[in-house]
Amino acid sequence: MKTIGLIVNPIAGMGGKVGLKGTDGKDILETAILLGASPVAPARAERFLATLKPVNGKIDLFVGAGDMGEHEAEKVGLEYKVVGSRKGYTTADDTKQIAENMMKNGVTLIAFCGGDGTARDILDVVDSKTPVLGIPTGVKMHSAAFAVNPESAARIAKGFLQNHMQLREVGIMDVDEQSFREGRLSARLYGYVLVPYEPRLIQGAKIASPMTEDELQNQAALAIYVIEEMKPDVIYIVGPGTTTRTIADLLDQKKTLLGVDLFCNKSIIAHDVSERKILEKIKGREAKVIVTPIGGQGFIFGRGNQQISSSVIRQVGIENIVVIGTKQKLSELTCLRADTGDPDLDAQLRGYIRVVTDYREEHMMRIE
């Protein structure tokens, strides 16, 4: 019988909506909770397990104890075997110990619910001995070990366990969270893992835009067009990235590179905002969202900009989403993606959307 292990990092992703860009470390977790953060991993683990459920009985399911997978499997109604012991506060060592015990039990695939930090913990134990698969839950997800959403992760797991998918070696990336919070992106490659590969269901590694003269000119042309189209008294929720930062540069405003800022009347009215701050500012106001896809991945929501949550998008309105991207970046993407944590909203977002690619130049691109 094929076996699958599930390890849930219960605090993964909690820093996203409150603008902390991660939850590595107990102090940061406590800060996130004080800012109103709530767990996101349980719901995403349940979505994975609910999609996996039809094959339960044909596979053995091992889960981490308590908040690390057991509670989610019990809630979904699956048969499972528990690895480890329940704890009130879990650490990276718990993840590693459970992964090691799952390997000793001969699991065929280890699925983990977390971000790049959790992927590093898994890498430290598994290396390339056992295939792994990331269920995207964290704030930072630069690695190519993650499925595009929890349902896709379950489809990959089922396909692999039924011998329908090949393995591919992919890199595990991570960034320094403190530098990230200070607006500096310091990423490095930590090693490689084996992942079941299906290109439509697995995300690519994040690719930085090349800062060539043509790229910079294209970014400037995009920014000029966006600025010309800005309407008086409308609040613009501007996501992270060098392309969106160019808008602020041309307005002589200081934007946070890796955060979400609010603009009104061509000036920044709030820096590095949380979901709560956005909702407060746009209540009863006309607002628009400006985002740029992540290079190599195509995500416009759900990766690094969780502050622009499903609640924010619903309040703003899908029709008020503005996507901008340089021609070079878009040439490397086959589609755009959205993983807001709200399956119904993700379904509404699917389809074609206009993407501004140059001065008064737009192209239609599909969100899958």
> Tens digit of pLDDT for each residue in 105-160?
999 999 999 999 999 999 999 988 899 999 999 887 888 899 999 999 999 999 99
pLDDT surpassing 70 at residue 345:
yes
Per-residue tokens: 338: 């959205």
Domain boundary among 171, 196, 221: 196
Q: Are both 284 and 356 inside the same structural domain?
A: yes
Residue with tokens 């200070």: 182
> pLDDT tier at 212 (50, 70, 90 boundaries)?
confident
In a domain, residue 207? The reply is no
Pair (189, 271) in one structural domain:
no
Of 4-8, 213-217, 363-367, give the lowest mean pLDDT range: 213-217
Does 205 fall in a domain? no
Whether 356 and 268 share a structural domain:
yes
203 in a domain, yes or no? no
| Placement of tokens 């964290």 in the chain | 138
> Whole domain around residue 354: which residue ranges?
213-367
Residue 25 is predicted with a pLDDT of 60
Work out the number of other CB atoms within 10 angstroms of the CB of residue 19: 26
Looking at the DSSP bridge assignments, the partners of residue 321 are 289
Question: What is the rounded distance in angstroms from the CA atom of residue 238 to the CA atom of residue 261?
Answer: 5
210 confidence band (pLDDT: 50, 70, 90): confident
pLDDT at 179: 54
Q: 250 and 187, same structural domain? A: no
Residues with Cβ within 8 Å of 36's Cβ and at least 6 positions away in sequence, in order, are 18, 274, 276
Pairing verdict, β 351-358 and 321-324: parallel
**pLDDT grade, residue 183 (50/70/90)?**
low
> Are 147 and 255 part of one and the same domain?
no
Residue type at position 345 = L
Q: Is residue 204 part of a domain?
A: no
Residues of the chain above pLDDT 70, percent: 91
Q: Please tell me whether residues 190 and 228 are part of one structural domain.
A: no
Q: Can you give the pLDDT at residue 265?
A: 98
Model pLDDT, residue 195: 96
Domain count, the chain: 2
- Tell me: pLDDT of 268 over 80: yes
Same structural domain for residues 225 and 182? no
pLDDT-based confidence at residue 162 (cuts at 50, 70, 90): confident
Residue 269 to residue 277: CA distance in whole angstroms:
11
pLDDT tens by residue, 6-45: 999 999 888 778 766 555 666 666 666 677 778 899 999 9
Asked whether residue 158 falls in the same domain as residue 258, the answer is no
**Residue 307: what residue type?**
Q
| Domain termination residue (choose one: 150, 171, 196) | 196
Residue 228 in any domain: the answer is yes
Check whether residue 187 and residue 228 sit in a common domain. Answer: no
Residues 192 and 238 in one domain: no
The Cα–Cα gap between 23 and 359 comes to 39
> What is the gyration radius of the CA atoms in the chain, in angstroms?
20
Q: Out of 62-76, 137-151, 285-299, which region has the weakest mean confidence (pLDDT)?
A: 137-151
d(CA 27, CA 24): 8
| Alpha helices by DSSP H, 251-289 | 275-282
Helix/strand number for the chain, H first, E second: 13, 16
- Taking Cα atoms as reference points, which of 302, 306, 137, 296 lies closest to residue 203? 296
* Residue at 201 is within a domain: no
Here the CATH number for the domain that contains residue 115 is 3.40.50.10330
Q: Kindly state whether residues 176 and 235 are assigned to the same domain.
A: no
